[in-house]
Chains A and B, each alone.
Chain A
Amino acid sequence: MDFTVNPKFRDLVEQARMIARDILAPRADHYDQESEFPRANFEDLAQAGFTSLTLPEHLGGRNLFSDPESYSLVLYELAKGCTSTSMLFHMQSSIIHVLTCILGNAEQSERYARAIHDGKIFASYASESTSSLHGTMVMETHAARSDNGYLISGKKYFCSMAGEADYIVLWCQLEDEEDLSKSLYLFVVPSDTPGIDIDKKWNSFSMRGTMSSSMTFKNVEVAENDIVGKGGDPIRADVLPKFGFGYSAVYLGAGGGAFDWIVDYAKKKKLQPDNVPIATYPPISRQIGEMKIALEGALLMVRRAGWLMGNEGAEAAYGAINEAKYVAAETAAAITEKAMKIAGGSGLMRHFPLQRFHRDARAGLIMPPNTEKCLLLAGKIAAEGKAGALMT
């Protein structure tokens, strides 16, 4: 057994921590309050080489998703500075990994890698209003063959970086086939293609910087060579679970950020007439102990899921990924709640980051797979004897 960070990527985890502290954290409040895309953060992440981390090595990347555990630690560290930025970074990094390491052909991979090196931003849109990504159904968003490629029409919800990304990776169904395992494709669409409309209604309680408005597509033309992979690829076991896995690290980062802040606060805050920091009061110190243990346990669960995915593949890690998402989201929610009680009125103040972490952590509970879904899947997979447990 070994609990150290993979030496191959350790530098990135440490660098992520610095970037979060020095660059992301000071700007986080602004992007949150203004509900603004963290463009300057993305420019700095590009400059630091972070936006190309998940490209394969021969295309100038570090192939960071080859070790999902290290990847998750990078996300976790970034999220401690700014949850929204870490989330968007994950969305771009994971779809880039899917496009260039798993599904894209050589020409496509090179082209998309070049765009990334040029500082272009990729978003990934899958969600529809009342449908899931399983089974047989007619999606709202579908592609019809045309003379030069495809024409896409439909509507997507929770489109993070709407109006900000340079390329949109659309999850949509080829017409005339309802079985998603055959008909679901990824299309890469330049965001300035005619026929795309953004509703600009994103005004959320949390994750405000993700700019996740809804988008409609009306006969949007996509070139033949921008359809990636084959039918059903997006919901393959080695593609889809990686998104949820990353969410667990990002949301746990909200808990980690809140924990660091409240410990620092409790170590400095003194109440008259006592001249000792409130961290030494037993009711507060015991809560610091609780938060620390919960945070460490959840981080181990996220790392374990990543380790399993890296060593045994995403399908074998599926149970562990759901376990990690549940425990990460619930832990971040619980820690931010506790921290708020310790901070008292200060916790509610806009000029402190705690209220932002508290709001952002709520999104972790509901973002797919939501925590109830995670519990059901974890139990179901365990009951079927496919949990990939290490216990036996």
Chain B
Amino acid sequence: MKLTIESKNKVLYERAKVISKEILAPRAHVYDREAKFPRENFDDLIREGFTCLTLPGEYGGPDLYSDPVTYVMILFELSKGCVNTALLLHMHNSITHFLITLGTSDQKKHIADLVNDGKIIASHGGESGTSTQWNRKLDTRAELVDGKYVINGRKVFCSMAGEADCYTLWVQVGDDWDVRKSMCFLLCPADHPGFTIDNKWNSYALRGTVSHGIKIENVDVPANCLIGKGGDPIRVDITPKFGLGYAAVYLGVGAAAYEWALEYSRNRRLKPTNNPISSYQPIQRLLGEMKIEMEKALLMVQRAAWTLQAFGAEEAYPLISAAKFSASEASASITDNAVKLAGGAGLLEDHPLERLHREARSGLVMPPNSEKCLDTVAKSVIEKNPEFAGTP
């Protein structure tokens, strides 16, 4: 075992800490309160090169998906400052990585050019009342007409709706209902007039992600906008990578709450003793619980990332689910404890804990949700080798 991060990309990780603290954190409450896309953050992240994190070396990027440990640690650090921004950045970087991995050489170059030009790519897979598994008819479908794909349908939870430059739609092409054959990525320019955004996003948490619903009517794109082949979006080496990043992002919420609580309890003094409350045993007990949850979940996230790198996505799949479960449950419990520690102040609007507590709730439900994670881990234990990678 070795728990130090030794990577040529470590400089990016160190930079992420600074960006998080100096750039993202001061703005976080504004995007949250106004449910506004963190445009200024993205401008800064583009300038810092952080929207190119997953571009391969030949296109000028550090190809961070070949170094998943550093990748998730960067997300973790950014999320401490602003979970909305970290989550959206992860979506952009991950879909960029998938499209470039799956595309033809012309497509690769086109996507890299877009990203290098500061364009933001969104990924829209969610549909109401359906899952992305098994045989069924998707709401969003495309037909090839005169050399163009014509897309119709509806997507929900479309993060960065109206803000991203391109939408990557998860679309069923043709008449085959088997999504393992028919579900495809279609990269569409966001300014196509066939997109109608419902502007109804008014959420309790993750308000800055502006995840409106989108109606898609006769959006026609050239045939070369289809990237990869049928079934690619739900491949085991594709979809779980989103989940790994979510784990790191949601754990960042808990880490921010823990660090806030630590700082607060060191400085908060109550009369008449005037000792910092961190010297009170009930407070130490709470801090201890939070710290332990934090460290354990962080190890689970790092271990899943390491497994992805060392053994590949299939091997890492149950570990990613275990990490996602650990991270989101840990953040939910840490933010609960932090509010207890802060007392009534933690519930006031614009208090950082009030926001972090809300954000942590979304970790529990975002796919793969906690119950789904348990199911995946259980199946790996029951059906396959029960040992996780790295176990003696």
What residues of chain A have their CB less than 8 Å away from a CB belonging to chain B? Answer: 1-6, 10, 13-14, 17, 69, 73, 77, 263, 266-267, 279-280, 282, 285-290, 292-293, 296-301, 303-304, 306-308, 320, 322-323, 326-327, 372, 374-380, 382-383, 387, 389-391
Give the shortest distance, in Å, between B324 (CB) and chain A (any CB): 10
Contact between B288 and A286, CB atoms less than 8 A apart:
no
Q: Which residues of A lie under 8 Å from residue B303 when comparing CB positions?
A: 3, 296, 300
Bound complex: CA of A177 vs CA of B288, how far in Å?
35
With an 8 Å Cβ cutoff, the count of chain B residues facing the other chain is 55
Q: Which of B48-56, B157-165, B378-386 contacts A (4 or more CB under 8 A)?
A: B378-386
Give the shortest distance, in Å, between A323 (CB) and chain B (any CB): 5
Give the shortest distance, in Å, between A206 (CB) and chain B (any CB): 24
Q: Which of B103-111, B124-132, B202-210, B367-375 contacts A (4 or more CB under 8 A)?
A: B367-375
Interface string of B290-329 (1 = CB under 8 A from A): 0110111111101101110000000000000010011000
Tell me whether B283 is interfacial, beta carbon within 8 Å.
yes
Tell me whether B272 is interfacial, beta carbon within 8 Å.
no
Tell me whether B286 is interfacial, beta carbon within 8 Å.
yes
Q: Which residues of A lie under 8 Å from residue B345 when comparing CB positions?
A: none
Give the shortest distance, in Å, between A248 (CB) and chain B (any CB): 12
Contact between B1 and A2, CB atoms less than 8 A apart:
yes
Tell me whether B348 is interfacial, beta carbon within 8 Å.
no
Task: Check A1/B392 contact, CB under 8 A, given A323-B295, A379-B291, A391-B255.
Answer: no
Contact between B288 and A374, CB atoms less than 8 A apart:
yes
Bound complex: CA of A294 vs CA of B388, how far in Å?
13
Tell me whether B278 is interfacial, beta carbon within 8 Å.
yes
Contact between A292 and B377, CB atoms less than 8 A apart:
yes
Contact between B374 and A290, CB atoms less than 8 A apart:
yes
Q: Which residues of B lie under 8 Å from residue A320 when comparing CB positions?
A: 295
Task: Check A280/B299 contact, CB under 8 A, given A1-B2, A292-B322, A379-B288.
Answer: no
23 contacts between A and B (CB under 8 A): A1-B306, A3-B1, A3-B306, A3-B307, A5-B390, A285-B374, A285-B379, A289-B378, A290-B374, A296-B300, A297-B296, A297-B300, A300-B299, A300-B303, A304-B295, A306-B1, A327-B292, A375-B288, A376-B285, A377-B288, A378-B288, A378-B291, A379-B286
- Knowing that A380-B278, A382-B288 touch, tell me 18 more A-B residue pairs with CB under 8 angstroms: A1-B6, A1-B306, A3-B306, A4-B390, A6-B1, A285-B375, A285-B378, A288-B381, A289-B377, A323-B295, A326-B288, A375-B288, A378-B288, A382-B262, A382-B291, A383-B262, A383-B283, A390-B295
Contact between A73 and B392, CB atoms less than 8 A apart:
yes
Contact between A289 and B392, CB atoms less than 8 A apart:
no
Give the shortest distance, in Å, between A127 (CB) and chain B (any CB): 23
Task: Check A391/B295 contact, CB under 8 A, given A1-B69, A286-B378.
Answer: yes
Interface positions of B from 257 to 305, Cβ below 8 Å from A: 262, 265-266, 276, 278-279, 281, 283-289, 291-292, 294-300, 302-303, 305
Task: Check A2/B291 contact, CB under 8 A, given A292-B322, A300-B299.
Answer: no
Bound complex: CA of A165 vs CA of B259, how far in Å?
48
Q: Which residues of A lie under 8 Å from residue B2 when comparing CB positions?
A: 1-2, 307
Tell me whether B389 is interfacial, beta carbon within 8 Å.
yes
Give the shortest distance, in Å, between B251 (CB) and chain A (any CB): 10
Q: Which residues of B lie under 8 Å from residue A382 when comparing CB positions?
A: 262, 287-288, 291
Task: Check A289/B300 contact, CB under 8 A, given A263-B381, A378-B288, A391-B294.
Answer: no
Q: Name, among B287, B295, B306, B376, the residue most crowded by chain A CB atoms within 10 Å (CB to CB).
A: B295
What residues of chain B have their CB less than 8 Å away from a CB belonging to chain A? Answer: 1-6, 69, 255, 262, 265-266, 276, 278-279, 281, 283-289, 291-292, 294-300, 302-303, 305-307, 322, 325-326, 371, 373-379, 381-382, 386, 388-392
Of B278, B291, B374, which contacts A387 at CB under 8 A?
B291
Q: Binding site of B, secondary structure by majority: helix, strand, loop or mixed?
A: helix
Of B5, B289, B296, B390, which contacts A301 at CB under 8 A?
B296
The 6 A-B pairs with the shortest beta carbon distances in the complex, nearest first, are A289-B374, A379-B288, A379-B284, A3-B390, A379-B287, A378-B288
Of B255, B294, B381, which contacts A292 at CB under 8 A?
B381
Closest B residue to A69 by beta carbon equals B1
Bound complex: CA of A342 vs CA of B382, how far in Å?
15
Q: Which residues of A lie under 8 Å from residue B5 when comparing CB positions?
A: 1
Q: Which residues of B lie under 8 Å from residue A308 when comparing CB positions?
A: 3
Q: Which residues of B lie under 8 Å from residue A77 when comparing CB positions?
A: 392
Bound complex: CA of A77 vs CA of B392, how far in Å?
9
Contact between A288 and B378, CB atoms less than 8 A apart:
yes
Closest B residue to A307 by beta carbon equals B1
Contact between A5 and B292, CB atoms less than 8 A apart:
no
Contact between A2 and B292, CB atoms less than 8 A apart:
no
Bound complex: CA of A292 vs CA of B386, how far in Å?
9
Contact between B377 and A297, CB atoms less than 8 A apart:
no
Give the shortest distance, in Å, between A192 (CB) and chain B (any CB): 39
Contact between B262 and A292, CB atoms less than 8 A apart:
no
Q: Which residues of A lie under 8 Å from residue B322 when comparing CB positions?
A: 292-293, 296-297
Closest B residue to A310 by beta carbon equals B1
Q: Which residues of B lie under 8 Å from residue A287 when comparing CB positions?
A: 378
Contact between A297 and B326, CB atoms less than 8 A apart:
yes
Give the shortest distance, in Å, between B334 (CB) and chain A (any CB): 12
Contact between B373 and A289, CB atoms less than 8 A apart:
yes
Of B1, B69, B306, B382, which contacts A280 at CB under 8 A?
B382
Q: Which residues of B lie under 8 Å from residue A3 when comparing CB positions?
A: 1, 303, 306-307, 389-390
Contact between A279 and B300, CB atoms less than 8 A apart:
no
Contact between A383 and B378, CB atoms less than 8 A apart:
no
Give the shortest distance, in Å, between A243 (CB) and chain B (any CB): 20
Give the shortest distance, in Å, between A187 (CB) and chain B (any CB): 35
Bound complex: CA of A377 vs CA of B375, how far in Å?
35
Task: Check A383/B265 contact, CB under 8 A, given A267-B382, A390-B3.
Answer: yes
Contact between A304 and B374, CB atoms less than 8 A apart:
no
Q: Name, among A73, A267, A390, the residue most crowded by chain B CB atoms within 10 Å (CB to CB).
A: A390
Q: Which residues of B lie under 8 Å from residue A290 when comparing CB positions?
A: 374
Task: Check A303/B1 contact, CB under 8 A, given A10-B392, A375-B285, A391-B255.
Answer: yes
Give the shortest distance, in Å, between B67 (CB) and chain A (any CB): 10
Q: Which residues of B lie under 8 Å from residue A374 when comparing CB positions?
A: 288
Bound complex: CA of A77 vs CA of B391, how far in Å?
11
Bound complex: CA of A322 vs CA of B262, how far in Å?
18
Closest B residue to A387 by beta carbon equals B291
Q: Which residues of A lie under 8 Å from residue B281 when comparing CB positions?
A: 376
Task: Check A376/B284 contact, CB under 8 A, given A297-B297, A304-B3.
Answer: yes
Q: Which residues of A lie under 8 Å from residue B3 when comparing CB positions?
A: 1, 304, 307-308, 390
Bound complex: CA of A301 vs CA of B386, how far in Å?
19
Q: Which residues of B lie under 8 Å from residue A306 when comparing CB positions?
A: 1
